Amino acid sequence: MIESTKIKELKGIGEKTEKLFHKIGVDTVGDLIRYYPRGYDVYEEAVPISEAAEGRVVTVTGAVYGRIQVGGSPRMQVTTLHVKDITGTLRVIWFRMPFLRTTLSGGGVITLRGRIVRKKDALVMEHPEIFYPPEKYEEKLHTLQPVYGLTAGLTNNAVVKAVRQAFDNLNLSRETLPEEIRLRYGLAEYNYALRGIHFPEDKEVFCHARNRLVFEEFLEFILALRKLKSGSEKLCNEYVMEPRPEVERFVAELPFALTGAQEKVWREISDDLASDTVMSRLVQGDVGSGKTIVAVLALMTAALNGYQGAMMAPTEVLARQHYESITKLFEEHGIAVKTVLLTGSMTAKEKRKAYDRIECGLAKIIVGTHALIQGAVNYDNLGLVITDEQHRFGVRQRETFAEKGGAPHVLVMSATPIPRTLAIILYGDLDISVIDELPANRLPIKNCVVDTGYRKTAYAFMKKQIAEGRQCYVICPMVEESESLEAENVTDYAASLQEELGGEIAVDFLHGKMRQKEKDAIMDRFSRRESQVLVSTTVIEVGIDVPNAAVMLIENAERFGLAQLHQLRGRVGRGKHQSYCIFMSGSKAKETRERLEILNKTNDGFKIASEDLKLRGPGDLFGIRQSGLMNFKIADVYQDAKILKQANEAADWLIENNHEWLKKLPKYEEPSSVII
């Protein structure tokens, strides 16, 4: 069996399963072994029933107590059981498994592992794994079981079996890194790393395996970046853009004064635009620091100098939001610059119209999504390209965009603060500007960390804020098992919240399974204030600006990485209203509270992430969703900063020595976009 062998050669994979694997991007055995788990289940020691906390997956051991009942509807039969230990009794339910009544009829002691949820006012263990007799659990204790990203119809077990078979039959002798590099940085061998990432015996093996894969991913990325850089150094400025008085007047007329940081960055950009060499600049500024207006000034300057300027956003919703706010601003200030929108979901006719206007040069500012870089668009005189929320785009996309013009100025904007040393590595070819100041009118967000007992109070608080005209976001607990379950969960949550809040208040929901059009419609409703509450998974788009939204409630906050919680929190506190973020934790543990309290103390995203690391230690981080910065498949810029620096050093060394290995380097493949 070789890596290009189709997976249907594996035992147990027929046509149907093959299609399911195709859906998750796995066609060959090679794809399969590189389909890394998205987390791991750790089989921890059993806890006393009284300590089984809501929202957590726990193991309990107890005696079967009372009768086993089967109820529910014929389509959804529910089997109920009670287990008891000296600290208490717990209700346990399974769906669609009526046969358990027979299996478990012997009673006695049983070990169960499952998630604790709240039903009405009692805690219930839902659909647990059964270890009967309890000795069976001993075998699994302390092991790490891989949890894969799935699709409806494909079980975790099926993936585990397939991956095991692949390893058993595949001759994996190749090493992909130069030996010198591997030894210098103490990196595991490729074989070991791949096996170790799927089936780590313990945390140590996991870390060793992961480090190696992270290093390799960074190294490939950095080398691709270096190649990009060597092709674009110090190009002569073909699009000289002089400062324009209209832009100054526009700034003076804005309802707010630019912050010192915005002014400084705008000066750096306008100097670049008028200089001898072409601009390649990154603007970094935390959420809400006001990057958009700076971009607008640059676009205006391009247009008023007779060139076209384009701005690309990572999502349709964000693109449309930018388009609308630009046209509104121009209208209000009497700026006669034609602006058009171009996104994938527009009809063929609408697109045709936009293409025509772009091609003949009538459109001076073009705002859109990826559609901006697709073949059908021909620019007339493209002098400036801007990408918003750069951390969501890859190197390749930026490259293509730049190729649409001759050698246009490039401005990229990112909300994810990272220290300069890392930014230089990750954005090697760009100069860096930082907007390190928030607009003065902002009231700092008020945060609180509470447990689930506070939920009712939180709802009442939301109701009060809504009565005052504000809007709220609720981030729903994640469901690790699958996206479809997650969708179901969001739907249910929204329905019960709707009931709780009453008919006057419109509750909408958003999840990853929805089509783009549906998501747009929901976001639109929310920004037009037609809905007051938006229940969502973490798909709440980066960059969305609804200044009227003043409350965010995050359920199961303990299950998120702090850096991600910080990004989520950035959706509120964007206007003049006092905003609130309620971190609701399903765990009463002291460490959890301490960790979440970090978010109270600082607003600096990077500091938050490093404090998080200090508290947990790298071995504890798996299973936690990562920062999502730059779409790495396994690497995480925050968590793996040290490895990033090492990989950069290694890249220097390879290039300096013009190493053999560089010639064999496979083409850099960007992981496809993942939503954080």
Binding residues vs ligand ADP (CB under 6 A): 256, 258-259, 262, 285, 287-293, 415, 439, 441, 543, 545, 547, 574
Count the helices and strands in the chain (H runs, E runs).
23, 20
Nearer to Mg ion, 116 or 287 (CB): 287
- Residue 439, binding choice from ligand ADP, Mg ion, none, Cβ under 5 to 8 Å by partner class: ligand ADP
Stretch that binds Mg ion, among 5-13, 27-35, 487-495, 541-549 (CB under 5 A): 541-549
Contact letters (x/-) for Mg ion, 584-623, by CB under 5 A?
----------------------------------------
State the pairing for strand pair 446-451/409-414: unpaired
Nearer to ligand ADP, 80 or 270 (CB): 270
Residue 288 near Mg ion by CB under 5 A: no
Residue 570 near Mg ion by CB under 5 A: no
- In order, the DSSP letters of 30-77 are HHHHT---SEEEE-PPP--GGG--TT-EEEEEEEEEEEEEEEE-SSSE
Nearer to Mg ion, 54 or 389 (CB): 389
- Residue 288, binding choice from ligand ADP, Mg ion, none, Cβ under 5 to 8 Å by partner class: ligand ADP
Least distance in Å: CB of 287 to Mg ion? 7
Least distance in Å: CB of 288 to ligand ADP? 5
Q: What would the 3-class secondary structure string for 329-375 be? A: HHHHCCCCCCEEEECCCCCHHHHHHHHHHHHCCCCCEEEECHHHHCC
Least distance in Å: CB of 294 to Mg ion? 10
- Residue 672, binding choice from Mg ion, ligand ADP, none, Cβ under 5 to 8 Å by partner class: none
CA nearest to 343, candidates 512, 543, 517, 518: 517
Nearer to Mg ion, 56 or 322 (CB): 322
Nearer to ligand ADP, 262 or 556 (CB): 262
Least distance in Å: CB of 262 to ligand ADP? 6
**Are 358 and 301 contacting, i.e. CB atoms less than 8 angstroms apart?**
no
Across-strand partners of 62? 110
Could you give the CA distance from residue 249 to residue 251 in angstroms, rounded to a whole number?
5
- Residue with structure tokens 């954080």? 676
- Residue 380, binding choice from ligand ADP, Mg ion, none, Cβ under 5 to 8 Å by partner class: none
Could you give the CA distance from residue 278 to residue 270 in angstroms, rounded to a whole number?
12
Nearer to ligand ADP, 216 or 389 (CB): 389
Phi, psi of 266 (to 5 degrees): -60, -40
Nearer to Mg ion, 166 or 568 (CB): 568
Least distance in Å: CB of 401 to ligand ADP? 19
Least distance in Å: CB of 486 to ligand ADP? 26
Tokens of 51: 């300590």
Nearer to ligand ADP, 76 or 440 (CB): 440
Least distance in Å: CB of 258 to ligand ADP? 5
> Residue 126: what residue type?
E
Nearer to ligand ADP, 273 or 287 (CB): 287
Helix (H, G, I), strand (E, B) or coil at 427: coil
Number of residues that bind Mg ion (CB under 5 A): 1
Could you give the CA distance from residue 157 to residue 39 in angstroms, rounded to a whole number?
14
CA nearest to 628, candidates 675, 562, 568, 559: 675
Tokens of 671: 């992981």
Residue 405 near Mg ion by CB under 5 A: no
- Please count the other Cβ atoms lying within 10 Å of the Cβ belonging to residue 447: 19
- Residue with structure tokens 């600049």? 281
State in Å, rounded, how far the first CA of the chain is from the last one. 35
Residue number, nearest CB to Mg ion = 543
- Residue 126, binding choice from Mg ion, ligand ADP, none, Cβ under 5 to 8 Å by partner class: none
Could you give the CA distance from residue 143 to residue 203 in angstroms, rounded to a whole number?
9
Residue 149 near Mg ion by CB under 5 A: no
Q: What is the dihedral of CA 97, 100, 103, 106, to 10 degrees?
A: 180
**Are 560 and 616 contacting, i.e. CB atoms less than 8 angstroms apart?**
no
Least distance in Å: CB of 666 to ligand ADP? 36
Phi, psi of 290 (to 5 degrees): 90, 50
Residue 309 near Mg ion by CB under 5 A: no
Nearer to ligand ADP, 359 or 436 (CB): 436
Could you give the CA distance from residue 638 to residue 131 in angstroms, rounded to a whole number?
38
Q: Binding residue for Mg ion (CB under 5 A) from 55, 146, 200, 543?
A: 543
CA nearest to 38, candidates 635, 562, 622: 622
Residues 504-533 that bind Mg ion (CB under 5 A): none
- Residue 343, binding choice from Mg ion, ligand ADP, none, Cβ under 5 to 8 Å by partner class: none
Least distance in Å: CB of 325 to ligand ADP? 8
Peptide bond into 243 cis (omega under 30): no
Helix (H, G, I), strand (E, B) or coil at 523: helix
Could you give the CA distance from residue 599 to residue 580 in angstroms, rounded to a whole number?
13
Could you give the CA distance from residue 630 to residue 392 in angstroms, rounded to a whole number?
6
Go through 64-103 and write b for each residue having 16 or more CB atoms within 10 A of its CB, e for each that does not.
beeebeeeeeeeebbbbbbbebeeeebebbbeeeeebbee
Alpha carbon distances (Å) from 228 to 280, 338, 349, 398, 400 = 12, 33, 36, 10, 11
Least distance in Å: CB of 286 to Mg ion? 10
Across-strand partners of 310? 366, 385
**Are 119 and 133 contacting, i.e. CB atoms less than 8 angstroms apart?**
no
Nearer to Mg ion, 388 or 480 (CB): 388
Nearer to ligand ADP, 289 or 585 (CB): 289
Nearer to Mg ion, 309 or 543 (CB): 543
Stretch that binds Mg ion, among 75-83, 277-285, 536-544, 639-647 (CB under 5 A): 536-544
Least distance in Å: CB of 645 to ligand ADP? 28
Stretch that binds Mg ion, among 428-436, 543-551, 580-588, 629-637 (CB under 5 A): 543-551
Least distance in Å: CB of 580 to ligand ADP? 18
Nearer to Mg ion, 511 or 571 (CB): 571
Nearer to Mg ion, 314 or 543 (CB): 543
Least distance in Å: CB of 271 to ligand ADP? 20
Least distance in Å: CB of 318 to Mg ion? 8
Residue number, nearest CB to ligand ADP = 290
Stretch that binds Mg ion, among 3-11, 110-118, 443-451, 538-546 (CB under 5 A): 538-546
Tokens of 50: 């009284």
Least distance in Å: CB of 292 to ligand ADP? 3
- Residue 258, binding choice from Mg ion, ligand ADP, none, Cβ under 5 to 8 Å by partner class: ligand ADP
Stretch that binds Mg ion, among 401-409, 460-468, 517-525, 539-547 (CB under 5 A): 539-547
Q: Could you list the residues that contact Mg ion (CB under 5 A)?
A: 543
